[in-house]
Amino acid sequence: MTTLEIEGLSVRRGRSEVLHQVDLVVREGECVCLVGSNGAGKTSLIEGVLGMLPSKAKTLSFLGESLLGVRPWDRVRRGLVVVPQNRDLFSGMTVEENLRLGAVAVADRTSTDQVLAEIYELFPRLAERADQLAGTLSGGERSMLAIGRGLMSQPRMLVFDEPSLGLAPLVVTSIMRTIAEINERGTTVLLVEQNVHQAFALASRAYVLENGVIAGEGPTAELADSELMRRGYLGSAATGGVVKA
């Protein structure tokens, strides 16, 4: 079954169109990655899919239902949850308050405590800092909290926007392992990353975004050897940290 289906999506940011006629499909249970360099339009794609930026699309459907004309928060309520790039945490609220707000849209409130316990199990560090203000957390902890908050709503699909951004390599590895675990437990994942090696290690399929258009797609194993990836990412244009892996 198709979880997310995008056909002919164009997204505007201000006056300029930054994403042109993008097609993308994520099937249930999959872990798909979307890679592209800085400014390729990755975040715009996410914000377009969530309805936070003005967009046009031939098809934009989630779990078989169209998202066109649906308000961003209602898209979230349908189970399409984004862990945003800059985390967008509630800085002046505690870790636990942040997590509980993550479940605010869940109709069945009885399960909240159980999900909270599971998230503390997944990220023991968050449990230690439950009463600490989110604004005082380290980068890695903020990333964990953003993921935990996303999980609190028991999403059908999680979209990670650059989860590795600004984190130390060791932390990145641990976050990536967590994303793999979330996917193994049954949540469909779209991983949006600049860090191609980390993303390819996790995902089964990949899309490559260049200047607002899909420049290539396919199983990660095949794509990794392709001319496109060599040209764009493993050669001179490779971004910091990518080459060494």
Which residues are near another protein by CB under 8 A?
Answer: 47, 50-54, 71-74, 76-77, 81-84, 86, 88-93, 97, 100-105, 133-136, 149-150, 152-153
Please, are residues 82 and 75 in contact by the beta-carbon 8 Å criterion? no
Q: Which is nearer to another protein, 6 or 11 (CB)?
A: 11
Nearer to another protein, 107 or 170 (CB): 107
Least separation, in Å, of the C-beta of 239 and another protein? 24
Smallest gap from residue 174 Cβ to another protein (A): 22
| Shortest CB 196 distance to another protein, Å | 25
- Looking at the Cβ atoms of 69 and 240, the one nearer to another protein is 69
Least separation in angstroms between residue 91's CB and another protein is 4
Closest residue by Cα to residue 92 from 58, 137, 50:
137
When the beta carbons of 51 and 140 are compared against another protein, the nearer one is 51
- For the beta carbon of residue 230, count every other beta carbon within 10 angstroms: 12
**Beta bridge partner(s), residue 27:** 2
Q: How far is the CB of 101 from another protein (least distance, A)?
A: 5
Residue 33 or 82: which CB sits closer to another protein? 82
**Cα 193–chain centre separation:** 8
Between 133 and 234, CB nearer to another protein = 133
Pairing of strands 59-62, 2-13: antiparallel
Sign of the alpha-carbon torsion through 48, 53, 59, 63: positive
DSSP secondary structure letters along 35-92 = E--TTSSHHHHHHHHHTSS-EE-SEEEETTEE-TT--HHHHHHTTEEEE-TT----TT
Instruction: Tokens for 213, please give them.
Output: 């258009």
Q: How far is the CB of 96 from another protein (least distance, A)?
A: 11
